[in-house]
Amino acid sequence: MNEIILSTKQLTKQYGSFTALNEADFSVCRGDICGLIGRNGAGKTTLMKLVTGLTEPTSGSYQLFGKDSTNSFLKRRIGCLIENPAFFGSMTAFQNLKFYCLQKGITDMKKIDEVLELVSLTDARNKKFKTFSLGMKQRLGIAFAMLDDPDIVILDEPINGLDPIGIAELRDTFRTLNRERGMTFIISSHILSELYAVADHFVFIEKGRLIKSVTKQELDLECSRCIVVKCGDVKHASTVIDSLGITNYKVIDKSELRIYEEGVSAKELNKQLVTNGVEVEGLTESGVSLEDYFKQLVSENN
Amino acid sequence: MAAALTIMTVSALVLLAICIVQRKEINSIARQLKQLKSIETNALVRSSSGTADRLINEINALLIEIRQSQVDYNRRNHELEQMMTNISHDLRTPLTSAMGYIGMVRTSDIPEQEKQRELEIIERRLVRLEELINSFFEFSKMISRGEPPELEELDPTAVLEEASVHYFDDYCARNRSISLDTPRKRIKYRSNRTMLMRIFDNLIGNALKHGKGDLHITLTEGERLTFIFENSTDEHIDTERIFEEFYTTDISRTKGNSGLGLAIAKQFTELLGGSISAEFEDEVFRIILVL
Amino acid sequence: MINMIKAELYRMTKTKGFYLFWGVMLISYLITIIYKQEGGISLGAPIVTDNSLKMDVRMVSWNFTYYYLFIIPVFTTVCSEFSNHTYKNTISSAISRKTYYFSKYFFILVYTLLSFSLLNFAFYAANRLVNGSEYSSSLGRFAKSVAVQLPVMAAIISLFIFIAFAVKKGAVFNSVTIISPILYTTLGLVLYGIKDTKAFAEKMLTCEISTIIMRVAKETSGSFTAKCMAGSALVIILSALFGYVIFTKREID
């Protein structure tokens, strides 16, 4: 199916006695937008540093584009922003990016303006980096990650410090690039709701361990809030539900219905069903919010 | 003397260095191109010493062009596949209908007149099938060559009336009717007859399947031609998504819908340079077609 | 590697240090030419007052000034990458630590040695033009003095690069490099004052850096010069090696 563009096998990193990443097995397919979610200090940054070569693993291995060795050609296909965006304060945005263009051998200087426009920093082109706000610094970091036409973009909490409009713009940019240029994204955050809107594959990490990996559909299924009705006569129940004006529901089998419609009160529903002669055997609410889902995962793991 | 000698040696060395560097650069470009060819990537050729920048820029421009054509090619292939699915759906409909009538004719306890009538209907359905197959080839030609639709002068009212006649029996059988409100005078309009017919067919058929009560069609002539197809319905409709392929309003009940009718209508409308939109309010469903 | 060098050059021209480096030397030479008197920074080295040597060669013996100026390119090229954390931008994209280290090393060495030679010869040409042969020696003599100082300068720079990669923090680097010669001389003088260590101190003081610079410019050959050349070579090799090991084997953060 889709080529696996990055995979790790039992990747471990220890700083002295502290294990930052513990036997991580993780893989990303080409064209994915993968969200890496974990609390502060869970190991997201460590994982990213390992796969970009900023630090060496204590044990385990990883493969990029199906190859073990990281020659410079493979490394070029990764663009990344890890930890705080780092640039030279006394140079302008344009000069900073030009410095890296020269370093990487990028011959077309128009690329700089192109990439600044992608992150809406065209106005700040000639402003010194030390005058930048946090959001602008972050955006320059993202611009830098995309400078060399990468195939994988690895971003460490890129949403930090951005206002809601900035976040929405960035989200659109990521989706467009993913669709039009086939860029694979690995984005980490500790805010699940933000990543939810962007990613289609989620990996949860806690205390250096990868605790779960789900696609967006699976996540939706596990989180979706619904009222589960168990009764003897599903047909009768569905007529009653129809008459209440509820349309977003599904007949699961001969004895179960699930109502996904929002704003339906379980109490009211129960009353209506019973009054209309439906023998309700059980009525429960299921489903969780994203944040609760994450909390559950973390506490299960501990 | 010694000075001249040193200067000459130094210049010779410098020239040698430049030659070596250039040679390395060319080799590096060749190597990179070889690597780039064999994989799917966004990466472009990079310089390693800056001695052949103009060459690299030209090569990169070519690479970008090639990749863009690949993307376009894939997209068109995909569109073609979709068009095939849509058309096969269109072919299936009259065929199924004809088969249904054949079944009815088979049952011997209906009067001869009735049988004759039904045979006529079957014939009509099959004629339509033939028309559709012809237009299928016409369209596949048009799409693969990217040609714009052939336009002829026609009267849209006449086309509309003909389409309504196709469904007359079906509506009657359900005690429903189609009412047309069109301008009295003949309208001269350049369009493609077959495509227009298909659009109307699909819209009327859609109202048949999903609506209740009578279908009202209005045609107003202004700067552009505006058609409004209005009927009441008791289904809940998401006007944002109804033109998507395979979208149906059935989450729970199965009705055997393919969800393609409106998608085809939209595709054809846009090919003719028009636009289509839907409104849904108080159980009244309206499709607005502007050509 | 050439790409990295181009990039470094581009960045250097955007820093204040770059202009300081050239500015200070140009002004110093200007003053020397105008007042027809050599001068510069020294740390108690025996000043060359030998009148058989013309002013320009005597000026070359004052090249210890460059010691302090060389701190600037090393600081800009190495230390600021660590203080701004921008090294991770380079390392995570396409360049291995080995290439990174050697490109920086090579760039700094070539840049400083070239600037050193350029400035010295520019001074020679300007001085000869303005002040005539009364104050200027033959090209060969001048060139010999400069040439003999090159390995010493290279050794200084190599050491600086090693220190920069070892300590990383700009402030620490500055303190170490600026203060060490002063400390060395002070130590030497103190030990000289004590009877027991007098002989040792004498030896120490002959190895003091500004002294070396002065003497080799004056002598340009002989056993002392040869010993200095050998010593410089050793320092270069060792510092390059240790710098490489320190940078590639440690965690950078």
In angstroms, the separation between the Cα of residue C191 and the nearest Cα of chain B is 47
Q: What is the pLDDT of residues A200-236, one digit of tens each?
A: 888 888 888 888 888 887 777 777 777 888 888 888 8
Residue B3 maps to a domain: no
B163, B108: one domain = no
Q: Six-digit token pair at A16? A: 């002295």
Burial label for C183, CB within 10 Å (0-12, 13-18, 19+), is exposed
The CATH number of the domain holding residue B91 is: 1.10.287
Assess whether B249 and B290 both reside in one domain: yes
Predicted confidence (pLDDT) at residue C24 exceeds the cutoff of 60: yes
What parts of chain B have a pLDDT lower than 70? 108, 132, 135-147, 244-261
Q: What is the pLDDT of residue B252?
A: 31
Which DSSP letter does residue A31 get?
A: T
Among B120-134, C43-57, C107-121, C205-219, the range scoring the smallest mean pLDDT is C43-57
Percent of chain C whose predicted confidence (pLDDT) is above 70:
96
Write the secondary structure of A140-193 as one string of H (helix), E (strand) and C (coil): HHHHHHCCCCCCEEEEECCCCCCCHHHHHHHHHHHHHHHHHHCCEEEEEECCHH
Q: Quick one: B171 and B288 in the same domain?
A: yes
Residue B27 lies inside a defined structural domain of this protein: no
Binding-face residues of C in 121-140 toward B, CB within 8 A: 139
Q: B225-232 and A226-231: which strand pairing?
A: unpaired
Q: Are residues A201 and A234 in the same domain?
A: no
Could you tell me if residue A158 is inside a domain? yes
H helix or E strand, kind and range, residue B283: none
B48 and C139 within 8 Å at the Cβ level: the answer is: no
CB B274 within 8 A of CB B291: yes
A212, A229: one domain: no
> Considering its fold, how many domains does chain B have in total?
2
Parent domain of B271: 151-291
- Domain identity same for A201 and A62: yes
pLDDT, one tens digit per residue, over A53-81 is 788 888 888 888 877 766 667 778 888 89
Mutate to test the interface with B, among A104, A149, A183, A229 (most CBs of B within 10 A): A149
Is this prediction's pTM over 0.80?
Answer: no
Contact B49 C3 (CB under 8 A): yes
Query: Does A90 reach chain C within 8 Å, measured CB to CB?
Result: yes
Q: Tell me: do A176 and A266 sit in the same domain.
A: no
**Helix A134-145, helix A93-104: angle, nearest 10:** 20
CATH number at residue B211: 3.30.565.10
Of B120, B147, B174, the position where a domain reaches its end is B147
Max alpha carbon distance in chain A (Å)? 78
Measured between beta carbons, the chain C residues lying within 8 angstroms of B48 are 2-3
Confidence of residue C48 (pLDDT cuts 50, 70, 90): low
What pLDDT sits at residue A69? 60
Stretch A127-132: mean pLDDT, rounded?
92
Provide the residue range defining the domain that includes A43.
4-216
Q: Which residue of C has its CA nearest to B50?
A: C3
In this structure, the answer to whether residues A64 and A194 fall within a common structural domain is yes
Q: Quick one: A233 and A211 in the same domain?
A: no
Same domain? A242 vs A107: no
Judgement on whether residues B138 and B155 belong to the same structural domain of the protein: no
- For residues A130 and A232, state if they share a domain: no
Q: A56-69 as b/e, with b when 16 or more CB fall inside 10 Å?
A: ebeebebbbbeeee
Q: Does A197 share its domain with A145?
A: yes
Distance of CA A49 to the CA centre of its chain: 17
Residues A66 and A103 in one domain: yes
Phi-psi sector, C5: left (phi>0), alpha (psi -120 to 50), beta:
alpha
Tell me if B67 is assigned to some domain: yes
Q: What angle do CA B198, B200, B204 make, to 5 degrees?
A: 120
Q: Is residue A88 within 8 Å of C84, Cβ to Cβ?
A: yes
Do residues B135 and B164 share a domain? no
Query: Same domain for B120 and B169?
Result: no
Inside any domain, residue A297: no
DSSP state of C152: H
ipTM field: 0.85
| Confidence at residue A72, expressed as pLDDT on a 0 to 100 scale | 66
Residues in chain B: 291
Q: Which residues of B touch A77 (CB under 8 A)?
A: 41-43
- Residue B199: predicted pLDDT: 87
pLDDT of residue C145: 84
Nearest to A151 among B35, B42, B60 (CB): B42
Mutation pick from B18, B49, B53, B56 vs chain C, by most beta carbons of C within 10 Å, is B49
Q: Does A111 touch chain C (CB under 8 A)?
A: no
Nearest CA in chain C to A54: C92
Q: Establish if B37 belongs to a structural domain.
A: no
CA distance A247 to A124: 51
For residue C195, the one-letter residue type is: K
Shared domain check, A253 and A156: no
Domain assignment of residue B42, yes or no: no
Q: Specify whether B114 is located in the same domain as B192.
A: no
Lowest-confidence region among A111-125, B133-147, C196-210: B133-147
User: What Rg, from alpha-carbon coordinates, does chain B have?
Assistant: 31
Residue B41 lies inside a defined structural domain of this protein: no
Taking only the tens place, the pLDDT of each residue in B54-111 is 999 999 999 999 988 988 888 778 877 877 777 777 777 777 777 777 777 777 677 8
Which of the four pLDDT bands, split at 50, 70 and 90, describes residue C228?
A: confident
> Distance between CA atoms of C192 and C203, rounded to whole angstroms?
10
The least confident of A135-139, A262-266, B49-53, B161-165 is A262-266
What's the domain count of chain A? 2
Question: In sequence order, what are the beta bridge partners of B229?
Answer: B217, B287
Domain containing residue A238: CATH number: 3.30.70.100
Distances (CA, A) of B225 to A188, B159, B182, B228: 52, 14, 11, 10
Residues B112 and B172 in one domain: no
Partner-chain residue, chosen from A149, A238, A251, that has the shortest CB–CB distance to B44? A149
Across A67-81, C77-91, C201-215, the highest mean pLDDT is recorded for C77-91
Structure confidence at residue A1 as a pLDDT band (50, 70, 90)? very low
